[in-house]
Chains A and B, each alone.
Chain A
């Protein structure tokens, strides 16, 4: 059982959250770096940083990082979402010092060797993502203006102490309230002066076609925030619409209309909040362009028939994924996968939610707020979401 020790200590530097768990076998250290709103050029830079950040640092070369990762049996990794980077390192018990040295060096002194960047730029246009990743991050980025100085400058702008939350969990014993006492390198990490240079790159080009013979169609909501007033209702609507086999999307789009095998609602982060996205995924057909409207119409019709049982099922499903770790969760808050009940993902969630909303993550409280939603409110919010939803179809390669 992870017991939160401190609410987090925000120095002028990064926020550090300490979650001792004596039952865990490994120390887990995660850095969550908020990226803010990115222009299209910056999105391309962000991808390059994600893929080259862990190549080498000032004090640790590639072999060193691979060797130290192997001590715990899992490689250090970096993922990028719409609003944050997540960098994770696991170390054996007793190696908190070494974990701090590595993580601080990654956050402050990555090497970004030109040869590594050039190799990455050559590989990127040919690198294939999964259709799911393409659907979630449906952009076509331009890497032609990227060079080593630009990568370095982007890193310096984004990876700042004030934008970073560090979560330390596992068998770490009692740690001082002052993180610099056990990780002295944090004391030398200063917030840079703001960079007022403007980036005039245009909007991000959308992906025109999947690299696979799979079409993804999406109805997506407008942005909403993570406050108690907004988030529980929106999450419950997403659950009613598309989480679990009793959801509207599964009952109507799959079982009744046999339109798709895979259909689900996900809640993903945006730069300033969250968005509900209803995905329909199927093999390409002549009806790709009308799929969203067919789905919208069918779901709106279904919402009219929602009853107390619908609300009950949605709340039951929320209980299943929030408290029992059921895999059919709509919460896709990090990269392309749903968060699990693993200690590592729960540690991430604790740090991310605090950074994103200013509040501590509390699944029971969230469920309690969801239970207060009335049927009328559920239906009207679902109707509004479906009526106002914008659409996006990425056809499959034929």
Chain B
């Protein structure tokens, strides 16, 4: 009996020690770039996302909009036909300019990853453009600006209120962009696309080892070392702004980076508030830096603040389980698809190799109702950044 028991224990032990293939592998490339490859076997497609971090090349009043303009121009490719060439093969890509990074997103099938990496190599080449091209593109971008909806305008204003020049709208200043010389853009590009600012995330039904090898080769071929100091966003301050070119009301709560549990409390509070307000929006981009969680409405321009400021302790206690569940689900949804997972992981890696969304999930799960109440307090009049649109 004892021998049999010992044998059973040994078998159990060997089963316990059997290793599962990790779902993702992060590689720190010697040139300072970061690679993350994630296997999602049930997914139908692959998301390949390249990020150029703004950490060392932030938006300033002098270059405000260069990042966005660069995104528009480089994505055309050298023959200005990169879209056509990719779409013919069933590959679609788009670019996004965020505060923390420029992001290039490709959707493809697993066997097309090498083609995508070739396309990224082309995009990273020094820009060849003319002043005429710049002026024409900025004309189109003015139209893009005109199409911003009220929630975007309210959110941008809240960031400006909270952080001033350190919270500049990534869209940029069209007048400044129009005056950009081609060589200025090339210089900016060389800094932004320096290897130590690059993060590549590949997520989907992939062989981690093989795709890591492909990704490493690509990143190892990237050059440049941006020596500028990386800057962190300050804590910001409360304030109030009225906007004439938007309608609605928004309240922004300043939160720390996701490694601080307060970010989770703020997010849970925002989602709980939105669920009470009906037809409300919540804007939050996970970041390792100080950031803003915004809740607002665009179908009326009063009521959000009144609702928030009138909340009692018992109201907040009742909202707590809803906020916790909504925040958990919100974050889980980001990580359920290749595109969502690559997006959130890449953005966080732009700030440092150790940041990951699971930290925020742990903080959400551990959150107490008192901590949730602290999250709600961030939206109250005295602490929040308030924007009212009166168009």
A-B Cβ contacts below 8 A, count:
126
CA distance A282 to B325 in the complex (A): 39
* A324 touching B45, Cβ below 8 Å: yes
* B83 touching A244, Cβ below 8 Å: yes
The interface size bin for chain A is 35 or more
* B90 touching A73, Cβ below 8 Å: no
In the complex, which residues of chain B have a beta carbon less than 8 angstroms from the beta carbon of A323?
44-45, 90, 109
CA distance A327 to B88 in the complex (A): 16
**Min CB distance, B341 to chain A, in Å?**
13
In the complex, which residues of chain B have a beta carbon less than 8 angstroms from the beta carbon of A127?
279, 299
* A73 touching B88, Cβ below 8 Å: no
Partner of A316, one of B89, B139, B326: B89
Q: Is B6 an interface residue (CB 8 A)?
A: no
Residue pairs across A and B with Cβ atoms less than 8 A apart, 10 shown, are A23-B42, A128-B299, A130-B149, A258-B139, A261-B146, A261-B147, A323-B109, A324-B107, A324-B108, A342-B337
Query: Which residue of chain A has its CB nearest to the CB of B326?
Result: A73
In the complex, which residues of chain A have a beta carbon less than 8 angstroms from the beta carbon of B150?
128, 212
In the complex, which residues of chain B have a beta carbon less than 8 angstroms from the beta carbon of A341?
44-45, 337
* A262 touching B42, Cβ below 8 Å: no
Q: Is B94 an interface residue (CB 8 A)?
A: yes
* A73 touching B325, Cβ below 8 Å: yes
* A324 touching B147, Cβ below 8 Å: no
**Contacting residues of chain A (291-343) with chain B, CB-CB under 8 angstroms:** 309, 312-313, 316-317, 319-321, 323-328, 341-342
**Min CB distance, B387 to chain A, in Å?**
16
CA distance A319 to B111 in the complex (A): 14
B147-160 vs A, CB cutoff 8 Å, 1 = contact: the mask equals: 10110000000000
The segment out of B16-24, B31-39, B230-238, B328-336 that lies at the interface is B328-336
Q: Is B136 an interface residue (CB 8 A)?
A: yes
* B143 touching A262, Cβ below 8 Å: yes
* B146 touching A70, Cβ below 8 Å: no
3 nearest A-B pairs in the assembled complex, by CB-CB distance: A73-B329, A261-B143, A324-B45
Chain B positions within 8 Å of A, measured between CB atoms, are 42, 44-46, 83-84, 87-92, 94, 107-109, 136, 139-144, 146-147, 149-150, 247, 275, 279, 298-300, 321-322, 325-330, 332, 336-337, 339
* A128 touching B247, Cβ below 8 Å: yes
Partner of A325, one of B45, B84, B142, B144: B45
Partner of A258, one of B140, B247, B300, B328: B140
In the complex, which residues of chain B have a beta carbon less than 8 angstroms from the beta carbon of A261?
140-141, 143-144, 146-147
Q: Is A180 an interface residue (CB 8 A)?
A: no
* B88 touching A260, Cβ below 8 Å: no
* B87 touching A309, Cβ below 8 Å: no
* B87 touching A324, Cβ below 8 Å: no
* A316 touching B329, Cβ below 8 Å: no
CA distance A67 to B279 in the complex (A): 18
Question: Quick one: given A261-B143, A327-B94, are A70 and B326 in contact (CB under 8 Å)?
Answer: yes
Q: Is A85 an interface residue (CB 8 A)?
A: no
**Min CB distance, A337 to chain B, in Å?**
14
Q: Is A75 an interface residue (CB 8 A)?
A: yes
Q: Which one of B92, B136, B143, B150 has the highest number of Cβ atoms from chain A below 10 Å of its Cβ?
A: B92
Q: Which one of A130, A325, A327, A342 has the highest number of Cβ atoms from chain B below 10 Å of its Cβ?
A: A325
In the complex, which residues of chain A have a beta carbon less than 8 angstroms from the beta carbon of B149?
130-131, 212
Q: Is A213 an interface residue (CB 8 A)?
A: yes
* B89 touching A70, Cβ below 8 Å: no
In the complex, which residues of chain B have a beta carbon less than 8 angstroms from the beta carbon of A73?
325-330, 332
- What 10 new A-B contacts, CB under 8 Å, besides A70-B325, A246-B84, A325-B44? A66-B275, A67-B321, A67-B322, A73-B326, A73-B327, A126-B299, A127-B279, A244-B83, A323-B45, A325-B337
Q: Is A366 an interface residue (CB 8 A)?
A: no
Q: Is A254 an interface residue (CB 8 A)?
A: yes
* A313 touching B88, Cβ below 8 Å: yes
**Contacting residues of chain A (257-275) with chain B, CB-CB under 8 angstroms:** 258, 260-262
Question: Quick one: given A75-B275, A130-B149, are A245 and B107 in contact (CB under 8 Å)?
Answer: no
